[in-house]
C-alpha cells in the first residue's frame, strides 16, 4: 500500500464528507504564498479536532503551535457563541531566537497560567515536539476533569518505535508517552494515521 492509495482514500471521503471550504482553502493558499511550511493538519484531521471539540462541548480551547491558523480555524468553528480559542505561536522566522529562548510557548504558558484562567475544555499541542511533555504538563494544569488533550505528530513515520532513533523530536514524543503512562489523572491512547500528510499519529488523552 502506498501514499497514493492513502491520498485517494482521503480524497474519496474528503469529497463526500468535507467538500471544499473557501475560508480554509484560502488560509492554506495564503500560508503557502507567505512561504510557511506546509505542515498543517490534514483536512480530515482538522475535522476530527472540530468533532472532538463538539463532542466535549468545548467552550475554551488552547492550542500550542499555530502556523497559519488552519487547525485553529477548524477548532474555533466548533465553539459556541462566546467561546474562546487561545493559540500560541512563535513566528517561524524567529525560530532561531525562540530556540535560544528555550521555547516561547513555554514562557507564554507560564504567563497564561499566572493569569489563573478558567480551565480549558480542550488543548491541541502541535508546536516544537521536544517540549511535548512540558506542554502536556501545562495543558493538564490548565484543564478540568473531562477536558481532552490532543497531541499531533507522535508517530513520525514510525520513528518513535525505532530503537536506534534519538532525534530530538522522537525523544520529545517518548518523554511525552512516558509522562502520560505515569500520570494517574488521565487516560490516553495513540492512533496511527495515514493519508495526505503521510504516516503519523495522534495521542488523545482525557482528564479523569
By CB under 6 A, name the one of 105, 153, 195, 205 that touches ligand DHB: 153
Instruction: Determine, following the binding rule CB under 5 A, whether residue 126 of this chain makes contact with Mg ion.
Output: yes
By CB under 6 A, what part of segment 36-95 binds ligand SAH? 39-41, 64-67, 70-71, 88-90, 92
Cα gap 204→202, rounded to integer Å: 6
- Binding-site size for ligand SAH (CB under 6 A) equals 20
Residue 89 Rama label (left phi>0; alpha psi -120 to 50; beta): beta
By CB under 5 A, name the one of 45, 50, 153, 193 that touches Mg ion: 153
Compute the half-sphere exposure of residue 165: CA atoms within 13 Å on the CB side of its CA.
16
- Binding-site size for ligand DHB (CB under 6 A) equals 5
Q: Which of 145, 152, 151, 87 is nearest to 121 (CA)?
A: 145
In degrees, rounded to 5, the angle at the alpha carbon of residue 118 between the alpha carbons of residues 45 and 148 is 30
Instruction: Determine, following the binding rule CB under 6 A, whether residue 105 of this chain makes contact with ligand SAH.
Output: yes
Residue 59 vs 150, nearer CB to ligand DHB: 150
Residue 121 vs 126, nearer CB to ligand DHB: 126
Instruction: Determine, following the binding rule CB under 5 A, whether residue 31 of this chain makes contact with Mg ion.
Output: no
Amino acid at each position: 500500500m502506498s501514499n497514493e492509495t492513502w491520498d485517494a482514500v482521503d480524497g474519496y471521503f474528503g469529497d463526500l464528507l468535507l467538500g471544499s471550504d473557501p475560508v480554509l482553502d484560502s488560509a492554506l493558499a495564503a500560508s503557502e504564498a507567505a512561504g510557511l511550511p506546509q505542515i498543517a493538519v490534514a483536512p480530515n484531521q482538522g475535522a476530527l479536532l472540530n468533532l472532538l471539540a463538539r463532542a466535549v462541548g468545548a467552550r475554551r480551547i488552547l492550542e500550542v503551535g499555530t502556523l497559519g491558523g488552519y487547525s485553529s480555524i477548524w477548532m474555533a468553528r466548533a465553539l459556541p457563541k462566546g467561546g474562546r480559542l487561545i493559540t500560541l505561536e512563535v513566528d517561524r522566522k524567529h525560530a532561531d531566537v525562540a530556540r535560544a529562548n528555550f521555547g516561547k510557548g513555554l514562557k507564554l504558558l507560564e504567563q497564561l497560567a499566572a493569569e489563573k484562567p478558567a480551565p480549558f475544555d480542550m488543548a491541541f499541542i502541535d508546536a516544537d515536539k521536544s517540549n511535548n511533555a512540558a506542554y502536556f504538563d501545562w495543558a493538564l494544569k490548565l484543564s478540568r476533569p473531562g477536558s481532552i488533550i490532543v497531541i499531533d505528530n507522535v508517530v513520525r513515520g514510525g520513528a518513535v518505535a525505532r530503537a536506534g532513533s534519538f532525534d530530538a523530536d522522537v525523544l520529545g514524543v517518548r518523554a511525552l508517552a512516558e509522562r502520560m503512562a505515569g500520570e494517574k489523572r488521565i487516560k490516553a491512547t495513540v492512533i496511527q494515521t495515514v493519508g495526505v500528510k503521510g504516516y503519523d499519529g495522534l495521542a488523545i488523552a482525557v482528564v479523569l
